[in-house]
Amino acid sequence: MELDPSEIRILKLLAKEWDYNGPPGLLDISLIVTALDQAPSDTFDALQRLFKNGLVDMNELKNAAFLTPEGYDATEQARHKE
């Protein structure tokens, strides 16, 4: 699966949270939008694609996102390609 740059930025941000505070790297969606230098609509679209592909999941309220183990693995693969 080929990830676009906005998806990779989201995965890296969630992976950083995972690395610092432990799995699953839970972040409020508003913090994700604020942290990334891109249009909020691009962030929401990328989050939806990542969710659909099973790389991120969301809490019951749908206001926070976190990495799945597959998402963390995809982030590691993206890091190695740099």
Mind listing the pLDDT tens digit for each residue in 1-34?
789 999 999 999 999 999 999 999 999 999 999 9
Work out the burial of residue 16: count CB atoms within 10 Å of its CB; fewer than 13 is exposed, 13-18 middle, 19 or more buried. Answer: middle
Check: CB of residue 7 under 8 Å from CB of residue 46: yes
Domain assignment of residue 35, given as a range = 5-81
Check which CATH number belongs to the domain holding 75 and give it.
Answer: 1.10.10.10
pTM listed for this prediction: 0.92
Number of domains in the chain: 1
Mind listing the pLDDT tens digit for each residue in 30-72?
999 999 989 999 999 999 999 999 999 999 999 999 999 999 9
The count of other CB atoms within 10 Å of the CB of residue 23 is 13
CA 30 to chain centroid, in Å, comes to 13
Q: What is the pLDDT of residue 2?
A: 86
**Beta partners for residue 64, in sequence order:** 28
